[in-house]
Amino acid sequence: MISLQILGLEEDMNSLNIIHVAGTKGKGSTCIFCEAILRECGIRTGVFTSPHLIDVRERFRIDGINISEDKFLQYFWDCWNQLEEKATEQLPMPPLFMFLTILSFKIFISEQVDAAIIEVGLGGTEDSTNVIKEPTVCGITSLGMDHTEILGDTLGQIASHKAGIFKPKVPAFTVPQLPEAMDVILERAKELMVPLEVTEPLDCKQMKGLKFCLSGDHQLYNAALAVSLSRCWLQRTGNWEKVCQNDFQDSNLPDEFIRGLSTANFSGRSQIVCDSSLYSDCPEIMSENCGGELIFYLDGAHSPESMEACAKWFSNALKGYKNASQTSIGVVNAEESSENGPFLHESKTLGTFEKSCRQILLFNCLDVRNPKILLPQLVNECALSGIHFSRALFVPSMSKYTKVTSGASVIPSDLSGIDLSWQFNLQRIWEKIMHGKEMTPLLDKDFKIESKLMLPPHEFLYDNASKGGPSHNDFPCSAVIPSLPLTIKWLRDCVKEHPSTRLQVLVTGSLHLVGDVLKLLKR
């Protein structure tokens, strides 16, 4: 890549000792697991993931912490100015993701990290991160049907792109795949003489009683892959003996590995946040007089496979909450809780109380996704666990995919010119799932796109909300709301008016939507 030459980074790339990770789902979590494991082993780490949810600095972690604003600006403008100075019509400025990838190399080289864990952005073969010529080890997480407009419409084609990160004779690891994908991965490994190992899911007994902060059964595959990648990295860089005096045994993880797996956190993935704004008048306790409960379950699932995993996690989380609510409860707000850990703690000062629960879906996805697959997948998987959504809300995201944003970025308030046609399309799909037939005439009548400032009455969330739908077929069980800030405020107002109700809101379909919700909850 010419940009690396301009910045004088090419010769220093090998010093990064890179773990390169591709995949359809779980590659970000796998990178975060690797980073936490190696950091616990005393290794100075850098990790590059995407996308960011609130602040662009989330993409660049040094020793587990987002890069500071001062350092980010220093490296950003250093790279930008040098590339802009050399830019010509034949050599234009690199597009956003390519620039951020180059920036990650600049940051990690300058900060002298011992290990750089790099997540592929899209695909593998043609991805900006694939300028890495000599990684220490490569990994491929679970593969599925995503980005088919770019990567192809078969698992084999997608696997071919993902396996494009393999380098001659460089060890690689993957998780169990469907035969169509595994055949391609094995063939690619054979061509390049890559030692390839398939890892089985981690046995919880190996954790010695500790649990992951990253929730969901699917994380057992990501954790196992991270264990293999980290072990291989330590062995190939001559650091293994410092960590473990004995040979590696699958049934006996080093304590450093266990600590890393149990402390790794990744915002927006299987994350639970209690809306602390509702308790401003009584922040120390939660009771019926505090105005009810509003709890957000956030997961950026956006493929059929990840949506299935999201549904299972959400269902299990609700069951866990129900069990926890049988005891006395105190509140830990979003700032005090770990990003993915429990937000409830037992309290001896409060008596038990019962609240009725409503499960609400807050959803948006890119128009390149297929909601006719994603939404039924979510509904059906939740239904298997006895979980039914009372209502669904469809909103546009605030984030712009082509902009670099920070946590202090201004939240747009102008609703003029908003195109809600995609959200109304999502609503029609949802209503057909709920009613078993098209509801287009009703939606056109009662929820016109021109009525952008109209909000449903608060009772919309509560009337006839049992068993996942309305009691009669002439009342829609979903709504389009023109902005996310309006939606959050409306949900808060609904809960304040119904203090005996607990709203459990699943936010999914897009990592950008999840990031926008987190941004609003933290303000």
CATH code of the domain covering residue 514: 3.90.190.20
Q: Are 359 and 318 in contact (CB under 8 A)?
A: yes
Domain match, 367 and 221 both: no
Residue 73 shares a structural domain with residue 27: yes
Task: Judge if 98 and 230 occupy the same domain.
Answer: yes
> Residue 499: its pLDDT value, please?
86
Strand partners, 507: 298, 362
Q: Which residues are annotated as a binding site for Mg(2+)?
A: 50, 119, 147
Q: Tell me, yes or no, whether 114 and 186 share the same domain.
A: yes
One domain, residues 185 and 308: no
Task: Quote the CA–CA distance of 249 and 253 in Å, as a whole number.
Answer: 7
CA 260, CA 75: separation in Å to the nearest integer? 29
Residue set of the binding site for ATP: 269, 299
Claim to verify: residue 318 and residue 425 sit in the same structural domain? yes
Final residue of a domain: which of 231, 263, 295?
A: 263
Give the domain-ending residue among 263, 289, 307.
Answer: 263
Do both 38 and 75 map to the same domain? yes
d(CA 464, CA 479): 15
Q: Print burial letters for 112-122: b (CB count within 10 Å at least 16), e (below 16).
A: ebbbbbbbbbb
Residue 277 is predicted with a pLDDT of 74
Q: Which range of residues forms the domain containing residue 507? A: 271-406+415-522
Q: How many domains does the chain have?
A: 2
The reported pLDDT for the residue numbered 278 is 66
pLDDT of residue 432: 93
Residue 407, SS3 per DSSP: coil
The C-alpha atoms of residue 108 and residue 519 are separated, in whole angstroms, by 27
Residue 159, pLDDT score: 97
CATH number of the domain within which 190 lies: 3.40.1190.10
Cα dihedral 266, 271, 276, 278, rounded to 10, equals 150
Half-sphere exposure of 374 (CA within 13 A, CB side): 24
22 and 93 assigned to the same domain: yes
Predicted local confidence at residue 393, as pLDDT? 96
Q: What is the mean pLDDT of each run of 10 residues along the chain (523 residues)?
A: 90 93 95 98 97 94 97 98 93 95 98 98 96 97 90 96 98 97 98 98 93 88 97 96 66 91 92 78 40 85 92 91 52 39 37 72 94 96 95 86 59 69 95 80 46 74 57 67 93 91 95 93 80
Question: Within this chain, do residues 255 and 280 fall inside the same structural domain, yes or no?
Answer: no
Known binding-site positions: 50, 119, 147, 269, 299
Give yes or no for a cis peptide into 51 (omega within 30° of 0).
yes
Angle at 461 between CA 460 and CA 462, to 5 degrees: 95
- Per-residue model confidence (pLDDT) at position 469: 42
Does residue 289 sit in the same domain as residue 344? Answer: yes
Does residue 222 share a domain with residue 358?
no
Alpha helices in 192-346 (DSSP H): 219-236, 240-243, 255-263, 304-324
